[in-house]
Amino acid sequence: MLARLLVLIGLLFLSFGAVAQPQWQSLPGAREQMIEEPVFGGRAWVFEAGQRDRPAVVLVHGLGDLGAGTWQALVPVLAQRYHVLTFDLPGFGRSTKSNQLYSPENYVAFIRFVTQRYLGRPFKLVGHSMGGAISLRYAATHPQDVSQLLLVDAAGILHRSVYTQFLSQAGVKMLPSVYPGQGGALTDLAGHVMRTLDRVNFDADVVLRTPALRQSILGGTPTQIAAMALVQDDFSRLIPKVDVPTLIVWGEQDPIAPLRTGKLLASAIPGARLRVLPGLRHMPMQEDAELFNGVVAEELAHDAATLTRLRARSAYALAPELPRNERVGRCSAGADQTFRGDYLAIEINGCRNVRLVDVRTTKLTVNGSEVEIENSHILGQDVGIRAQGSELKITGGSVRGDVAIELDRSRADLAGVRVSGGQATLRAVGRQTSEAVLSVSWLVRDGQEWAWHAVRVLRPNENL
């Protein structure tokens, strides 16, 4: 229960109280309408601006009653060149609010209904926060509809245990300090409770599917229902299906949707690019409207040929190639060390806050250390990564080996990682358990690939 509350409370930071809606009626071609929608069985507010014969842009907001008002500074800019379509998602803003299953899948069905009714042609899709997750799902399930995808601080992609841990850390920092070490203790407690719930296969889907439980546990409120449905969603089978020019835009200091999510998406979506906005948080369109509007306008203005070149030349993901350098990287009893580039092997012993960024190597050995790996490839023959008494956080990239990852009293947190093994993708050794957290990752063995979005405690000599 504590873990569920942490998820919901954290996600509520995305919500904003009801505010005056922007006055867009004076824009060229401005039209607003309340329509009957069949997905949730209510009424939805829809807004258009700009000339209908111009390229179409669809804007999808996140949680909160601000609704389409999220785009209050962007719509007037885009309406000069595009046919802009936006709306208050059911459950938010001026649309009907009731006890419904406000899931990303149902929101995709709603957007399909609206876009078919108002556009009937391919469009450029922009989504923020929860709207970013919805837009990602839409592009994967209806690729023929989307000509270009722009995801802004998309929330809820990581496995709920990882996301809860991140949100609890952000929330704990806001609490008044009562005793030394409080932050670490509370964060550890939250992580322990979440992992315990995952180990006993706690199923929040039952709550979401049952109207009476949604009412009693979540108050029947759209924000809490949508928040829980978001963190329950599994994007592991969808992300590889996104085959459209994609730009990921992220606030560097986002306390709601960690930048790690942006790196995951940019690494896993073929040809995706990542644009980090320095100093900004979760609402870049409000925090620096001029910068944000410029980034969006520049991206949407690219023609098809330019987007093709950008996908080939400026993609975030590092090519999975063997290293071209035979140097060996080492860290011993140190902290705050970063490795970049190609290495034959890397050895880390008794080190904290070690990072591997854009690294290619054939072997990584980690003993008694904390290591974060981003957009890197460990392409081994025997064992790709061997970790003993260590914490690994791996985002994007790949690991390969006869045994890809060997864990001894260690924890591996993988997000958007492709793990390929001959005998095993992950193996626990030693006399104690190890733990693997896999967020939208893929395990490959014997020519078969499985999408994983789960937490697994590995007993000694257990393989995945």
> For residue 70, what is the domain's CATH number?
3.40.50.1820
Dihedral sign, CA of 236, 238, 240, 246? negative
The first and second tokens of residue 78, run together, are 């885009």
Domain termination residue (choose one: 281, 313, 345): 313
Look at residue 219 and tell me if it is in a domain: no
Instruction: Specify the pTM.
Output: 0.89
DSSP string for residues in 296-335: HHHHHT--HHHHHHHHHHS-SSPP----S---EEEEES-B
**How confident is the model over 284-292, as a mean pLDDT?**
96
**How confident is the model over 439-451, as a mean pLDDT?**
94
Number of H helices, E strands in the chain: 13, 22
Q: How would residue 21 be classed by pLDDT, with cut points 50, 70 and 90? A: low
pLDDT tens profile 307-337: 999 999 999 999 999 999 999 999 998 888 9
Q: For residues 15 and 457, which has the higher predicted lDDT (pLDDT)?
A: 457
Q: How many domains does the chain have?
A: 2
For the cut 80, the answer to whether the pLDDT of residue 338 exceeds it is yes
Residues 419, 398: contact at Cβ < 8 Å?
A: yes
Q: Are residues 117 and 238 in the same domain?
A: yes
The first and second tokens of residue 265, run together, are 């998406």
Look at residue 290 and tell me if it is in a domain: yes
**How confident is the model over 38-64, as a mean pLDDT?**
96
Q: Are residues 249 and 117 in the same domain?
A: yes
Q: Are residues 399 and 294 in the same domain?
A: no
User: What is the rounded distance in angstroms from the CA atom of residue 14 to the CA atom of residue 115?
Assistant: 25
What is the maximum alpha-carbon separation in the chain? 70
Q: What is the pLDDT of residue 231?
A: 86
Domain termination residue (choose one: 254, 284, 313): 313
Q: How would residue 31 be classed by pLDDT, with cut points 50, 70 and 90? A: very high
**How confident is the model over 74-86, as a mean pLDDT?**
97
Look at residue 322 and tell me if it is in a domain: no
**How confident is the model over 85-100, as a mean pLDDT?**
96
User: What is the rounded distance in angstroms from the CA atom of residue 347 to the CA atom of residue 314?
Assistant: 31
Q: Are residues 55 and 127 in the same domain?
A: yes
**How confident is the model over 391-416, as a mean pLDDT?**
97
Q: Are residues 309 and 387 in the same domain?
A: no
Q: Torsion angle of alpha carbons 309, 124, 226, 106, nearest 10°?
A: -110
Q: How would residue 2 be classed by pLDDT, with cut points 50, 70 and 90? A: very low
Q: Are residues 354 and 435 in the same domain?
A: yes
| Pick from 163-172, 232-241, 248-257: least confident | 163-172
Q: What is the pLDDT of residue 218?
A: 85
DSSP string for residues in 50-103: S-TTSPEEEEE--SSTTGGGGGTTTHHHHTTTSEEEEE--TTSTTS---S----
The first and second tokens of residue 438, run together, are 């896999």
pLDDT tens profile 198-214: 444 546 788 899 999 99
Look at residue 19 and tell me if it is in a domain: yes
Look at residue 175 and tell me if it is in a domain: no
Q: What is the pLDDT of residue 162?
A: 83
Three-class DSSP category at 281: coil
> Could you list the residue range(s) of the whole structural domain that residue 125 is in?
2-157+232-313
Residues 213, 216, 219: CA angle, nearest 5 degrees:
110
**How confident is the model over 82-107, as a mean pLDDT?**
96
Q: Are residues 7 and 73 in the same domain?
A: yes
The first and second tokens of residue 223, run together, are 């924000």
Q: What are phi and psi of 248, to 5 degrees?
A: -100, 120
Look at residue 463 and tell me if it is in a domain: no
Look at residue 205 and tell me if it is in a domain: no
Q: For residues 288 and 174, which has the higher predicted lDDT (pLDDT)?
A: 288
Q: Are residues 268 and 134 in the same domain?
A: yes
The first and second tokens of residue 114, run together, are 């609206």
End-to-end alpha-carbon separation of the chain, Å? Answer: 29
Q: What is the pLDDT of residue 161?
A: 80
Q: Are residues 284 and 336 in the same domain?
A: no
Q: How would residue 165 be classed by pLDDT, with cut points 50, 70 and 90? A: low
Domain termination residue (choose one: 253, 281, 313): 313
For the cut 50, the answer to whether the pLDDT of residue 246 exceeds it is yes
For the cut 80, the answer to whether the pLDDT of residue 189 exceeds it is no
Q: Are residues 346 and 305 in the same domain?
A: no
Burial class (CB in 10 A: 0-12, 13-18, 19+), 64: buried
Q: What is the pLDDT of residue 437?
A: 95
Look at residue 215 and tell me if it is in a domain: no
Q: Are residues 149 and 292 in the same domain?
A: yes
Q: Are residues 47 and 114 in the same domain?
A: yes
